[in-house]
Every structure is written in structure tokens, then in C-alpha cells.
Amino acid sequence: MAQMSRRLVAAVSVVGLYILLELLRRTGVIGAYWAQVMDLSLIITISAVGLSLIYGFAGQFSLGHAAFYGIGAYTAGLITKTLGGEIHWYVVALAAGAGAASLVAFLIGLPILRLRSDYLGIATLGFGFIVKVLLDNSDKISPTLGGARGMLGIPQMTTFPWVFWGAVLAVLLVRNLVHSSYGRACLSVREDEIAADIMGIHTTRFKTLAFVLGCGLAGLAGGLYAHLYSYLHPQSFDFLRSLDVLLIVVLGGLGSLTGTVVTAIGLVFLQEWLRGILPRDYLDWRIVIYAIILIVLMIRRPQGLMGGREWSLRILVGGDPAQIVTGKGEKGRASA
């Protein structure tokens, strides 16, 4: 009964938050500019939750996450630009973007996920550069893709309900996976891959599972991004974008979905807020301020904002917040 009440409180809280934000947007309290920033922050959240599954929970160091983000974006954009901007083609495009990223992740994951640590990071980094070069020359495959000039004319179909509920579903998917037997196997691989292998866990299989699902979420985020701005450019999916998402996962706390979500939304709004308060001649200094904030945070709290912990629903229904055993090196009770 207690677990049911916590789930009910969670569902009501999420629906209430959605209604509140929708009302604020419709009444103009949240302007068009900040509404679009909010949409972007939720898209980045979906992508970051995918990397959190790969690195934070499964322990696989990936530096090519933006490549799958780009694969999903270009696949989804190509479908709606070619077939039309009807809602059913939009749904097909999002599914195709996530599916294409998952398929590519599966194909390259079979050989490279046998690597570990820095070697895996270098392999995914190399794949990211390959995808960037392919996107730059994609017009030679199909003029519709635009190549280095970028893809224009994508229907602008991404709205707040799509990104909000997409982010909610991404968090629920990863949360439920982590608390399943598959998730516990991924956590054991992260903590000690050799020990997990000795205990009979098929480590490559579970690493591939986390990698494919995480990259699929990046592809879904890419599809939403493509239909938010109606324009794609290969520069939006380079190594620096992979580094941005990696920073979100690390700063939020490895193994903490709460930290990933809070950090993703916070960093996107921080960048845009700095863009608004700095004079035009000093606009580039926002990157310096942003970097200083990151450095100070890592020095003062190297374990990240949440340190592997999650916000528990017990805070809402009364009682002490529970601690979850998913953070790297963290111990405690599992929260509902």
C-alpha cells in the first residue's frame, strides 16, 4: 500500500508539474525564448540520461555520444522532409531515429565493447569523428542531407508535450532497468568486470544492452532536436557536444538519474542566462565563466551534485529520504 501511494504521489506530481509549466507558457509568464530553451534542456536531458545508463550505471566510458545524437537527428529529419510533416510521419521519424542509433550502436558495440576504460573511450571517440566526416560529406550520398551546408526545411513539429513526456519516459525506462536483474548485472560490471565475469555474468551482453539502449535514447533526443529548430548542421554533433553530455553525467554524479536531470536542465539555462546578462562585446566570456563554475564544482564536490544518490519519494509522502545503491562506491538502502 505504501509503495502504491508513493507511485500515485509521483504520477500526480509529474502531471501537476506538466500542467503548471504548460499554463505558464500559455499565459506568457514563460516567454517564447525561454520556452524554447526549456524544450532544448529537456532534449539534452534525454540524451544525458542515455549516457548516464552507459557510463554512470554500466561503467562504459564513451566519448562518441553526440554521433548517435546526430544519427538520430539526420534520420528523423530526412524522413519528415522527404515524406511530409504529418503527425504519423513525425512519430515514424522519431522511432526511426532511435532505431537507427540503436542499430549502429549494436553493430559497432560488438567489437569495441570488448575494450575497457580509456581504450573504449578512444574507440568511441574515433567513431564520433567518422560520423562527423560522414555528415560533412552526406550531400554526396543524398543532396537532401545538405552536407557541410546543413539540412534545411525540416518540419518544425517538436512541442513541449513531446519533449516533456519523452524525458519522463526516458527516466522511467532507465530507472526501471537499473532496478531490474539486468540493471544489477550492469552495476556489477561497472564495479568489477572481472569479478562479474567469474560469477557467470555475460559481461559483453550486458554492456551491449546498456550501450544500445543509451544510444537509442540519444537518437530519440536527436530526432526531437531536428524538429525543434528545423535545421541541422554537422557542427552540432562534433566531439565538443559529446564532452558536454559527459560533463553533465559526471557533474550530476555517476549513477544518479536525479543528478543527471538537474544538471542537464541547469547547465542549459545557465549558458543562456549568461548569454543574456553579458554585454555583446563580452559574450564569449560566458564560456570562461561556465568553465570556472565547472572547475570550482569539481574541486568542491568531486563526486558530483548527487554523489550517486537519488531524491526519494519519501520526501513527498513523509519520512526520511532513502538512498539508492547505484552510485559508484555508494552504499545504502534502495529507494522505491
What mean pLDDT comes out for the span 194-221? Answer: 90
| Total-model pTM | 0.88
Whole-number Cα distances in Å, 125 to 116, 240, 270: 14, 11, 27
- Per-residue pLDDT at 50 exceeds 50: yes
- Per residue in 233-283, pLDDT (tens digit) is 999 998 888 888 998 998 888 888 898 999 999 989 988 887 778 777 776
Amino acid identity, position 317: V
- Contacts within 8 Å (CB) and 24+ apart, 297-303: 297/251, 298/251, 303/253, 303/327
Quote the percentage of the chain above a pLDDT of 90.
Answer: 45
Instruction: State the pLDDT at residue 3.
Output: 66
Ramachandran sector of residue 147 (left: φ over 0; alpha: ψ -120 to 50; beta: rest): left
- Per residue in 61-108, pLDDT (tens digit) is 889 999 999 999 999 999 999 888 889 999 999 999 999 999 999 999
What's the mean per-residue pLDDT of the chain?
A: 85
E strand or H helix at 127, and its extent? helix 117-136
Q: Across-strand partners of 15?
A: none
- Per-residue pLDDT at 319 exceeds 90: no
Instruction: State the pLDDT at residue 316.
Output: 43
Instruction: State the pLDDT at residue 329.
Output: 47
- What is the C-alpha to C-alpha distance for residues 234 and 256, in angstroms, rounded to an integer? 30
CB distance 304 to 256 below 8 Å: yes
Q: What is the largest CA-CA distance in the chain?
A: 61
- Per residue in 163-201, pLDDT (tens digit) is 999 999 999 999 999 988 888 888 888 888 888 888 888
- Per residue in 102-135, pLDDT (tens digit) is 999 999 988 888 887 788 889 999 999 999 999 9
